[in-house]
Every structure is written in structure tokens, then in C-alpha cells.
Amino acid sequence: MAEVLVIAAHPQLQHSRVTRALLQALAAADGQRITVRSLYALYPDYFIDVAAEQAALQAAQLVVWLHPVHWYSMPPLMKLWLDETLAFGWAYGPGGEALRGKDLWLVASTGGPEASYRPDGYNRYFFDAFLYPYEQTAALVGTRWLPPLVLHGAHRISDEELAAHAEVFVQRLALWPDWPEIADMDLAPACLVPPDARPQSEG
């Protein structure tokens, strides 16, 4: 297993511009330390191999979530992956320290332009407002939340802009963990979940 794990999720990858371009750029790069798991290719039936996903996560030090934004969140299979893989007692809660100390990096794209993510735009909020569930998920499982890489207006950007974005993506992965802006970042805040946060299963 490689130390960088890319969890990619696009329901219609054949029609994607951004996610497909980033995955192609990864494939063309020297990816010896990078493992890519494309969820919709692995699990078209939505039956997730939790043990395999947890093993891949444990082997990595940087986890990348690569996906388009769907209704201000992640695609449905990735949400199911999160629900099933980041289990109580494994990723969080008593004994749940499998991911503690790792880094989590969101690489996302939106259909709407950046100007639409403003109080005077049709999305009403700055894009950061939609990232709180991601950031808290990172904190709950003990991972350090890295500054996301977001590309807005995916449907209208030029081929040159997309190529430049893909280059940034690959370069950032090649340079990690030596990013100047994260050198002094704190580790994940403590989010201690009590043992009684989940009911005991009945026999």
C-alpha cells in the first residue's frame, strides 16, 4: 500500500471534465507512493468491502477525497463509504484511533462559478460554509484537515485552466507533506466520544 490514498467518487466519470482530468494526470505522474480507489468502479452495486477500505486507510498517511460537489455535499456512494468505513470503535469513539495523526485533503469541484458562492449569489453562502461537516469529520476521526483544493465553474473553464489545475494537484501530492502553509498547523482537536454514545447491542 502507498502512503497517499486517493478516494475518488464520480457517478458518471465518463462525462466528467475535472475528476477525470485529475485522475488522468495522476496516472501519468510517478505514482509509486499513491494508491487510487475509484469508488464507482469498485462498487457499482454499492456493496462496499469495508475491510479492504479500512486496510487501505490504515496504510496511508495522507487521505485525499476527490469528488464533484453534489447538492452542497459529496456524491451518494462516497457518503455511504464514509458511513460504513469510518466505523464507531475503529475511526472514532472508544478504541477508534485507526486514522489518528493522518492528514485529510479535500479536492473538489463545483458546477457553479465562485461568484455564486457569496451572500449575493444564488448559493447564498461562501463556499467555506459548506465545508464544516467535512472539517468536523476530519476532527472526529483525529485527522489533520488540510486546506482544500477547489475548482469552481467546472463546466465552463478552459482546457488550459483545467490543465493548470491538474498540474497543481499533482505537484501538491508530490510535495506533501512539505507544504509551507501546513508546517505550523496544529493536529486535529480532541473530540472525545463517550462509551455510551452508542447503545449496547442486544444479545
Each residue's pLDDT tens digit, 60-82 = 999 999 999 999 999 999 999 99
Give the total number of structural domains in the chain. Answer: 1
Q: What is the pTM of this model?
A: 0.93
First-last CA distance in the chain: 37
In a domain? residue 144 = yes
In a domain? residue 109 = yes
In a domain? residue 69 = yes
Does the pLDDT at position 11 exceed 50?
yes
CA distance 195 to 95: 9
Does the pLDDT at position 172 exceed 70?
yes
- State the Cα angle at 105 between 99 and 106, rounded to 5°: 120
Confidence at 203, pLDDT banded by 50, 70, 90: very low
In a domain? residue 202 = no
- Residue 30 has a pLDDT of 65
Contacts of 30 (CB under 8 A, 6+ apart): 174
Domain region containing 131:
4-197
Asked whether the beta carbons of 4 and 65 are under 8 A apart, the reply is no
CA distance 45 to 32: 29
Each residue's pLDDT tens digit, 13-70 = 888 889 999 999 998 886 678 999 999 999 999 999 999 999 999 999 999 999 999 9
In a domain? residue 107 = yes
In a domain? residue 179 = yes
In a domain? residue 112 = yes
Segment 146-155 mean pLDDT: 94
Residue carrying the nine cell digits 472539517: 135
Each residue's pLDDT tens digit, 87-143 = 999 999 999 999 999 999 999 999 999 999 999 999 999 999 999 999 999 999 999
Asked whether the beta carbons of 21 and 162 are under 8 A apart, the reply is yes
Confidence at 187, pLDDT banded by 50, 70, 90: confident
Torsion sign, CA atoms 19, 169, 111, 133: positive
In a domain? residue 203 = no
Provide the angle, in degrees to the nearest 10, between the axes of the packed helices 159-175 and 18-28.
50
The CATH number that applies at residue 153 is 3.40.50.360
